Amino acid sequence: MKVYFDKNVLSHIICAQRGDKEAYGVTLEDVSELIDAVSEGKLISLLSTMHLQEAAYVIRAASREKAKEELKLIQDLMDTTQIIKLCGDLLTDDVIAYANGDGPVSPLIPLNYDLWELFRPDGDVGERKEALDKTDEQNDALLQVLAEGKENDRDVILEEFGGSKPGFEEFFCKKIDERILQTIRKVEERTNSRGLVDACKERGITEMGSIPSIHLAEGSSLSYQYARIFGEISEKKKKRWGDPSDLKHALSASACDIFVTHDEDFAFWIGRIPNIRIEVLDHLHSLVERL
């Protein structure tokens, strides 16, 4: 059974190991059972580039010990022999494979570099911090665009649905093919693959929704858009700083059987996607209870 953990779950595991109060109900017993299940082969905890990117933020921390805790948890809990492809690469490969008449590509590739390089306190630390600053700027820019477009998007969608708020499933079914086409066009342009859109249309756009990466990427994006437009945000109401990263986690989670997050909003948005092919749990303890 393949499981994918959102970064907030990993942070709460570390809090439990430290004895911090901010562990979100995660206990040392939960952690011990989880690591035992991984070591016994009952679970495969998938590693993504998003995990590594978010773990790399510890280079801003004052203590080297915190960096060691992050890396130790990755080594103890996750399959470090392979890693989920970069989100853009995964979508691109699946779109091109579909256009060529093939099935979905494997989302996993060998991990062939030293994880310690991400956590060393010397060398190019300045360059790595600058890369994190740029990531923050990109996330802030996306959140700003989303906030500014909310009211206009709402008006457009209400007009499209006859002035009434559609249910999410109605919204999803009407918009999903449009979103998939947008992704194909982006891939065609980025890779200079002329005829990609026509080839995918010939095989069927709706059928592309059965590809796990495309289904989760477009489904989570639509669910998130619907939640923002129609006020379904219960926590961090003014800004949800982690949303850009969460949407990438959702795409990475297409490689798993079970996705675990401690963000209740995010769990709800992902779990309601029609025909979702993974199970979504909103607490680590729900997974541990099954072991």
Whether the CB-CB separation of 251 and 90 falls below 8 Å is answered with yes
**Residue corresponding to tokens 């853009």:** 88
Give the pLDDT confidence score for residue 13 in this predicted structure: 95
125 — pLDDT class (breaks 50, 70, 90): low
Is residue 92 within 8 A of residue 192, CB to CB? The reply is no
Structural domain containing residue 220: 2-288
The model scores a pTM over 0.95:
no
pLDDT at 173 over 60: yes
Across 178-191, average pLDDT: 94
Q: What's the pLDDT tens digit per position in 193-234? A: 999 999 999 999 999 999 999 999 999 989 988 988 887 765
Number of domains in the chain: 1
Contact predicate 66/58, CB 8 Å: yes
pLDDT in tens, 186-198: 999 999 999 999 9
- Residue pLDDT, tens place only, 11-60: 999 999 989 888 999 999 999 999 999 999 999 999 998 888 777 666 66
